[in-house]
Amino acid sequence: MKATIVALVLLVAGALAPVIFAGQPYALYVLTLALCYAIPAIGLNLLYGYTGLVSLGHMGFAGVGAYTTAVLMKDVGLPFVPSLLAGAAAAGFVGLVVGIPCLRLRSHFFIVVTLAVGMILFTLFNNLDGLTGGAEGLPGIPRPQGFAIGPLEVEFRSLTGFYLLAFTVTTLIFAFQYVLVRSDFGRSLSSVRQDETLAAARGVNVFGHKLMAFVLSAAIAGVGGAMKVLFLRAAAPLSFELQESINLVLMLILGGAGYLIGPIIGAVIFVGLPEFLRIASEMRLIFFGFVLLLLARFAPRGVCGLAEAAYKKRFDREEAVGIAHS
């Protein structure tokens, strides 16, 4: 399908980014940051795009993963991979604790709960000084240890090195999303989004599926949060406040919720476009505010949705022409 081709193109372009942006370290920096947002956006996509649940506090889960990984790597000295997995597990666990009581609620109420949970988590990050460093956060987070494969030296302290790590992690998370979505589990999630009552009547344990989606999306957000603080070498509560959660939703809607590559496109546009257009940081959010309004009104399926619609128009026209000629 055409979507697979686009995904492959992105994969190749992403892998070659250090080469493409060889003389422009700032561009690579922006791209790396974009990937650190793309990961939680993929998590949100699983929850919102495929299961239909809105979460307005999702960066809170990213924060749980971020602080867990940071503390394990900085204070305990654990290597990268176990720390990252622990961060994902911690975030997933918080998702479980929140999800079990709250997913039974009707959609309006659930959305408000996610908002409240996000704010509670932020308050905790800001005030549990012993654990999280409070408002100042945790500086001095080490980069993952490099290693050698034969003569090849792989390190993550340089921009290029970390970019490739972030790219690899993003690709793995994307692949995970792909497998989930294309599986029978993904089909059940989709049925929950389209018609819960019907899904239940056809044998889907709606609550169980929602919980699973919620936990997985929280864990993925945790991975994203961890990557972000590893990149910036510091964890601070402001990285995970309400505005950041709103930005995450924005990115996903912009790219296209319910499309596999939607979150990645959205993150890249959100983080990269203002840099590219040299929009000052204050105007950037106003700009995206208008973008959101336009999206809500005219293009709720985002960039991917617009692309799909445009493609269908051309494809249908060609088919009609073909019939006329035959």
Partner 1 sequence: MATAILEQFINGTMMGSIYVLMALGMVLIYGVMHVLNFAHGVLFMVGGYIAHLFFFNLSGSYPVAILCSMVTLALIGMVLERLVFRSLRDNLRMQIVASLGLILIVQNGVVQLWGPHALQMRPASVDSLVRVGQLSFTVQHFVIIGVVVAAVTTLYLFLRYTRLGTAMRATSQHPEAAVVVGIDPNRVYTITFMIACALAGLGGALLGPLFLIFPQMGDAPMLKALSAIIIGGMGSVPGAIVGGLGIGILESMSTLVIPTDYRDTVVFGVLILMLLVRPWGIFGVRVRGEN
Partner 2 sequence: MVSPILEVSGISKSFGGIQAVDGASFSLGQPGIYGLIGPNGAGKTTMFDIICGRQVPSEGEVRFHSERIDGQKPYWLARQGLARTFQECRVLPEETCLDNVLFAAQDKRLGGELWQTLTRSGKARREAEAEARRLLRLINLERYADQPAGALSYGQRRLLEIVSCLMSKPRILLLDEPASGINPTLLNTLRDFLVEIYEETKIVFLIVEHNMEFIMSLASEIIVMHQGRVLTQGTPERVQSDKSVIDAYLG
- Name the binder of 200 from partner 1, partner 2, none, CB < 5-8 A by kind: partner 2
Q: 60: which 2 tokens?
A: 């809170």
DSSP string for 68-108 = HHHHIIIII---HHHHHHHHHHHHHHHHHHHHHHHTTS-HH
CB of 213: closest distance to partner 1 in angstroms? 16
Told to check if 176 binds partner 2 by CB under 8 A, we report no
CA distance 164 to 186: 29
Binding residue (CB under 8 A) for partner 1 from 107, 158, 194, 205: 107
Cα–Cα distances in Å, from 280 out to 236, 273, 283, 284? 23, 11, 6, 6
Distance, in Å, from the CA atom of 252 to the CA atom of 12, rounded to the nearest integer, reads: 22
**Interface segment toward partner 2; rule CB under 8 A; list 44-52, 77-85, 88-96, 195-203:** 195-203
* Contact range with partner 2 by CB under 8 A, out of 73-81, 138-146, 158-166, 202-210: 202-210
Q: How far apart are CA 217 and CA 57, in angstroms?
A: 12
Closer of 164 and 269 to partner 1 (Cβ): 269
Q: How many residues bind partner 2 (CB under 8 A)?
A: 25
Residue at token pair 């204050």: 282
Furthest CA-CA distance within the chain = 76
By the rule CB under 8 A, 200 interacts with partner 1: no
Q: Contacts by 157-161 with C-beta closer than 8 Å and gap 24+?
A: 159/25, 159/28, 159/29, 159/32, 160/18, 160/28
Structure tokens at 123: 């308050």
- Binding map of partner 1 across residues 51-90, x = CB under 8 A, - = no contact: ---x-x----------------------------------
**Positive or negative torsion for Cα 98, 51, 304, 261:** positive
According to CB under 8 A, which one of 185, 232, 234, 292 is a site residue for partner 2? Answer: 185
Q: How many residues bind partner 1 (CB under 8 A)?
A: 40
Give the closest residue to 264 by CA, choosing from 175, 159, 162.
175
Query: Under the criterion CB under 8 A, does residue 304 sit at the interface with partner 2?
Result: no
Q: Which of 130, 140, 203, 322 binds partner 2 (CB under 8 A)?
A: 203
Least Å from the CB of residue 75 to partner 2: 36
Binding positions for partner 1, rule: CB under 8 A: 54, 56, 101-102, 105-109, 111-113, 115-117, 119-120, 123-124, 126-127, 242, 246, 249-250, 253, 282-283, 285-286, 288-293, 295-297, 300
Binding positions for partner 2, rule: CB under 8 A: 179-180, 182-185, 187-188, 190-191, 194-195, 197-206, 208-209, 212
